Structure 1
Amino acid sequence: MSNARFRVGMVGAGNICEFHVAAVKKLAPEVELIGITDLDAARAQANAEKWGTTALPDLDALVAAGANVIHVLTPPFAHAKVATAALERGCHVLIEKPIAEDADEARQIGELAKKKGLIASVNHSLLYDPQVKKALDAVAAGALGEVVSVDILRGSEYPPYEGGPLPPWYRDAGYPFRDIGVHCLYLMQALLGPIEGVDAEWSSLGGDPNLAFDEWRAMVRCQRGLGQFQLTYNTRPMQSQLIIHGTKSVLRVDLFAMFHGKRKNTPLPKAAERLVNAFVDSIGPMIDVPINVWKFVRKEVQSYQGLRDLVTEFYRRLAAGEPPPVAVDDAAQVVHWVEQVARAADEDHKAQLAPFTLSAKVPYLVTGASGSLGKATVKRLRAEGHQVRVFQRRIPKKPQEGLEYAFGNLGDPVAVDRAVQGAEIVIHCGAAMKGGWPEHKGGTVVGTQNVIDACKKHGVSQLVHISSMSVIDWAGSVGKGVIDETAALEPRAEERGAYTRAKLEAE
């Protein structure tokens, strides 16, 4: 067994694991990485080879190999279970955010760690982001006076969906708040003290039509002041700003552009003070951005730097016998408020879906019914007196009376199967209309395959596939008369763009 004081095993070999591995490897020889494990053994093996470590079968194998610290990097629903198992086996734990999906589970982790004489903490990484850390240090030094309020503006987006099982951010209505809101709340907690209440609103504006809610606002009441934050998947360019309002100064931290802007209270006349502050505020970015970009180029600052620095601090404190970077009780309080809002959003979405029921049999199903072609098809069918079911991603603001609605993404086989079941004829108008190849592959190619599979499964009598004139070989058709179904297809679809390529593959 290694002589390293701390021997680390990691449970969960997903994307975030790479950065935990890199952070731990920099702490050698005091800290040694024993290996990683994942329910997907092939992924664990592939990533272990890529990151220069060992893949082991499970948590017990990590412990048997000598691990005495476990990084819990699984999906959030498994955090409490894995952390508890690691503590029971005598290991300290560092858990990815959120510490758990339930505040009681989080507190139980803390109680078990205390009982076992072990340390448990959570990766609230933005507390150690260089820009945020600099701001927190300024607050602690009294540079802003007393902090009375905090604003956070955060834009985000999720990776392109290429079809298949829905990822959690599209499966659960409250996921965006669980994912990003947790960061906002622990920053509020750090700056304004314990959280006493959160009032939130959410909406669907269509920036990401696969999200149940893509616009969020929250007012946060803390012990020492008020905070508010915006989470948006609509505005561009995306931003990530933290604005700290103090009795002496207002500090604006831009986490994406990596700069600070500050406006101070001065003895100058108000007009002069505004001019001075505008000048100083504009100088900050001109100085900070080039310096921080240079640091990034030189790898003095790297992606997920806050995570890397928190991991370093976790092991420093572990070695020194000091309290961990993030207390379990603080993390549990954040989870309580995150879940209160997220679960309310989940229930709201369920309530919005409840009125839309599907009959056992329906003559027609039209996919892509919110697009211009789909709308025209539905209008024609209804004018002829047919009963119609439509399949689309978003709940309409004004549902048409007498129309059946099924919701989901064409790339999701479960949603497509539900929509097709009971239909006699399917008119497939749906396709991706924007984005790169991943979006077009998921919405058009995989979506069409899902429709075909569901039609076969449920014995649909007829499938009408609506293609596109973009698949025709227009250059090769010049001078050959009327374009009809015998016309040659585009031979260089990749050069025509993702839409043409996907429509051809769908055919």
Structure 2
Amino acid sequence: MSTPTPEIRVGLIGCGRIAGVHRRYLQTTPGVRIVGVCDMDLERARAFGAEAGAEEVCRDAADLLRLPLDAVHVLTPPSSHAETAIAALERGVHVLVEKPMATTAAAAERMQAAAVTAGRILSVDHNRLFDPVILQARQLVAAGAIGNLLSVEAYQGVNVQEGGPAAAPLAMWLNLGPHPLYLLRAFVGEIAEWQAVGGPMGELRAVLRGSQALGFLCFSPGATPYLNALTLRGTKATLHIDLNTMTLLRQRPRRLPSMLTKAALNIDQAAQLVASTVRTSWRVATRRMGTYPGIGVVIRGFHAAVQNQGEPPVSAADGRVVVDLLEQLWTRTHDARATVTRPRPTAPRPSSNGSTVLVTGASGFLGQHVLAALRERGHHVRAMVRFPRLSEEWQDVEEVVAALGDDASIAQALEGVDAVVHCAARVARSGNRADFFRDNVSGTSHLLAAAAAAGVKRFVHVSSIGVYGVPPKAKSITEQTPYDSHPERRGAYTWSKIEADRVVQEFARKGGLSSVILRPGILVGPGGPEFTARLCLGRFGSRVVIVGRRRARLPLCHVADAARAAALAVTARTTCTVYNLVDEGLTQEEWLRQRTAAGWAMRPVYVPPPLALIPAFALEVVTRLAGKSSPLSRYKIRRATASLSYDTARASLELGWKPLTGVRGVVASTEQEDRAVRRLLLTEPARTTDIAAPDYERSSS
């Protein structure tokens, strides 16, 4: 009678988006039990732990590693992979780490040495190696179906918008660059030599000579659509693999007359595409293939190796080689440090008061105008951007390429800085709670700590009036009005902005940094959104559906007025203070009427809030049954359509601020004026993900 295999006790370190994928595969892997989870966001860890059936929930990895564990999955940001994995290995725990194995070859080597010393397995999640289409391609190559393999082309596109303000070009390369590199190695063999060139916005192209074939790498954060593809060229046929759609096409020569060959090729490719699409769709529909299927193979293989003391699907040595390539390719083609790209004061500036101000989110709608306001007041301005974007007109503005998620680049961006105006924030509709926490909460926390360490004297944080709760009737919202008590019902953006506010206030109370928080209304002005509503259900043809009364007043703020407040706050003699920035505003009807007069060709349809509550309730029920949150809740409707007024007396008294530009003339700005603003400030239009705005603006079309 055989002895039953002991159960593997697993801990998950990090409860972000990819952790959900690991959890689902672990829960279907025999002989494995999730014992504990940990995450810096304890609330998120608790919710995740409940879904995972974990017995223990921790905030710190050290606490998790005190549990009796056999293995851990390290699912934290890449910068913490080495430290976390080594700590686990030293506790005698097997480790599966997400890619990249580490951020430097030296760190990866330390990890590998720690695994050898501990006698434990260290494996890396190179999941694409085990996707069905890649396994199929490897079988075809091994069987000689494409003849002798001559070359492999790997293309990795990047959706920059999903990265949020924390994503620098280097961070995106570390996060996604491993995929094409380990796929190339799998087909072309060990890399003997390579040549590479880098371009703007993190573009990278490389030619690699492998032991079996040539490899071509294209990494593109700028090109659209965001392709993820592999092309294998052999002496008999060529394979085209789309890793986004999980389809594989084989292109072969045809012995037909030339005219027939062209038609036959197109028909053959179309037939293969349809067949491959149907096959993949059927696998997904019947649950034979889940999200990130390769991760499931890696997880099952890793735990089989732990149980049987065998070899994991991906060795630590393979992970280290990929990290070494990552590091070398980047350092030889890009400057991995924050770089000041425009310190060229060719024209005289206004007399400077000696202060240097760093503006984060400087390429965003508000950030652009903050640059202008600071320069007009005589400050030396440093614009922090993820990609070089300022136009030639701004000769006297320094442009620093850095990101909130890159501590090294942030430290260099803050050198010699007296004040920071923090405009950067994730406001995009895409992203989950983890994404908003990383960019808006953790990013702000890291920036504060780095600013304090750099000797910064003033920190101006741009928040939102959307953080407030609804006060009793007939009362204006002041800076003392409590936060919304149920921000989670309104979405991850509102919740994250409240948490970021608390981080700034707590840091200031502890004496860490003199801070000011600005809470502007819905930002409007040249270069900004053409349409604004408190709550919009969407556009349908030439009509836009708005929930609320046509005479409801919009809490607007002209972007130039908000920028001027930021400039005033830099030198204000107050600390740990909050200021509302709202104009007297227009009604929804007045705003739309003036937009229509300016050429906006949409007809509004107003839905009374009580009527909108009915479908909202139904949607809440359906999404709750599906285990998801509703995009439209009754609470959000009540909050967005409440009749509110905002008190700005404190800003007037202490900052000397009042709306000078105003919102009543903003709708008269022409398309030519918008283009002029964009031409002056940027080489391309601002991305809406950099706009700091309340959550109900984000609900508009």
Please report the TM-score for the alignment, with normalisation by the length of structure 2.
0.56
Matched residues in 2 for 1:377 and 1:79: separation?
A: 37
Tell me the SS of whatever aligns to 2:23.
helix
Alignment match of 2:236 (pick from 231, 242, 248): 248
Contact persistence 1:175–1:342 (CA under 8 A): no
Match of 2:543 in 1: none
Residues 391-406 of structure 1: pairs in structure 2 closer than 5 A: 391=383, 393=385, 395-396=388-389, 399-400=392-393, 403-405=396-398
Tell me the SS of whatever aligns to 1:174.
helix
Matched residues in 2 for 1:23 and 1:106: separation?
A: 26
Going from structure 1 to structure 2, the CA distance change for 1:132 and 1:371 (only over 3 Å counts) comes to closer
Going from structure 1 to structure 2, the CA distance change for 1:376 and 1:194 (only over 3 Å counts) comes to closer
Question: Residue 281 in 1 paired to residue 269 in 2?
Answer: yes
Match of 2:222 in 1: 234
Tell me the SS of whatever aligns to 1:190.
helix
Say which structure, 1 or 2, has more relative contact order (CA 8 Å, 6+ apart): 1
Match of 1:494 in 2: none
Question: Residue 202 in 1 paired to residue 198 in 2?
Answer: yes
Match of 1:459 in 2: 572
Matched residues in 2 for 1:104 and 1:231: separation?
A: 24
Q: Which moved more, 1:106-115 or 1:291-300?
A: 106-115
Q: 1:95 Cα deviation (Å)?
A: 0.8
Letter in 1 for 2:125: N
Matched residues in 1 for 2:96 and 2:172: separation?
A: 23
Contact persistence 1:202–1:214 (CA under 8 A): yes
Q: 1:345 Cα deviation (Å)?
A: 5.5
Unaligned runs of 5+ in 1: 205-212, 423-427, 438-443, 479-483, 491-496
Matched residues in 2 for 1:368 and 1:33: separation?
A: 40
Q: 1:107 Cα deviation (Å)?
A: 2.7
Identical-pair percentage: 25
Q: Which moved more, 1:308-317 or 1:231-240?
A: 231-240
Alignment match of 1:474 (pick from 590, 603, 606): 590
Question: Residue 292 in 1 paired to residue 408 in 2?
Answer: no
Matched residues in 2 for 1:231 and 1:117: separation?
A: 36
Alignment match of 2:103 (pick from 101, 104, 111): 101
Match of 2:40 in 1: 39
Matched residues in 2 for 1:82 and 1:108: separation?
A: 12
Contact persistence 1:471–1:503 (CA under 8 A): no
Q: 1:289 Cα deviation (Å)?
A: 0.4
Going from structure 1 to structure 2, the CA distance change for 1:143 and 1:160 (only over 3 Å counts) comes to closer
Q: 1:487 Cα deviation (Å)?
A: 6.2
Q: Deviations over 1:414-438 (max 9, x none)?
A: 59x989999xxxxx9797559999x
Letter in 1 for 2:572: G
Going from structure 1 to structure 2, the CA distance change for 1:22 and 1:245 (only over 3 Å counts) comes to same
Match of 1:152 in 2: 154
Letter in 2 for 1:85: A
Matched residues in 1 for 2:157 and 2:532: separation?
A: 20
Question: Residue 221 in 1 paired to residue 229 in 2?
Answer: no
Q: 1:126 Cα deviation (Å)?
A: 0.3
Going from structure 1 to structure 2, the CA distance change for 1:445 and 1:85 (only over 3 Å counts) comes to farther
Match of 1:140 in 2: 142
Match of 2:85 in 1: 83
Q: 1:459 Cα deviation (Å)?
A: 2.5
Q: 1:237 Cα deviation (Å)?
A: 3.0
Contact persistence 1:472–1:487 (CA under 8 A): no
Going from structure 1 to structure 2, the CA distance change for 1:323 and 1:372 (only over 3 Å counts) comes to closer
Q: 1:94 Cα deviation (Å)?
A: 0.8
Q: 1:371 Cα deviation (Å)?
A: 9.3
Going from structure 1 to structure 2, the CA distance change for 1:52 and 1:158 (only over 3 Å counts) comes to farther
Matched residues in 2 for 1:79 and 1:365: separation?
A: 30
Match of 1:49 in 2: 50
Contact persistence 1:473–1:489 (CA under 8 A): no
Contact persistence 2:5–2:307 (CA under 8 A): no
RMSD between aligned residues: 5.0
Contact persistence 2:38–2:57 (CA under 8 A): yes
Q: 1:159 Cα deviation (Å)?
A: 5.2
Match of 1:67 in 2: 69
Going from structure 1 to structure 2, the CA distance change for 1:453 and 1:501 (only over 3 Å counts) comes to closer
Q: 1:364 Cα deviation (Å)?
A: 11
Q: 1:239 Cα deviation (Å)?
A: 2.0
Q: 1:336 Cα deviation (Å)?
A: 0.6
Contact persistence 1:94–1:122 (CA under 8 A): yes
Q: 1:19 Cα deviation (Å)?
A: 1.0
Q: 1:316 Cα deviation (Å)?
A: 2.7
Match of 2:23 in 1: 21
Q: 1:175 Cα deviation (Å)?
A: 1.8
Q: How many residues align?
A: 467
Tell me the SS of whatever aligns to 1:16.
helix
Question: Residue 192 in 1 paired to residue 180 in 2?
Answer: no
Going from structure 1 to structure 2, the CA distance change for 1:200 and 1:54 (only over 3 Å counts) comes to farther
Match of 1:175 in 2: 171
Going from structure 1 to structure 2, the CA distance change for 1:448 and 1:8 (only over 3 Å counts) comes to farther
Q: 1:185 Cα deviation (Å)?
A: 0.4
Letter in 2 for 1:45: R
Contact persistence 1:147–1:244 (CA under 8 A): yes
Q: 1:369 Cα deviation (Å)?
A: 8.7
Matched residues in 2 for 1:182 and 1:470: separation?
A: 51
Q: 1:452 Cα deviation (Å)?
A: 4.6
Question: Residue 315 in 1 paired to residue 428 in 2?
Answer: no
Please report the TM-score for the alignment, with normalisation by the length of structure 1.
0.74
Residues 367-446 of structure 1: pairs in structure 2 closer than 5 A: 389=381, 391=383, 393=385, 395-396=388-389, 399-400=392-393, 403-405=396-398, 410-411=423-424, 433=529
Matched residues in 2 for 1:486 and 1:354: separation?
A: 33
Letter in 1 for 2:25: A
Q: Which moved more, 1:253-262 or 1:269-278?
A: 269-278
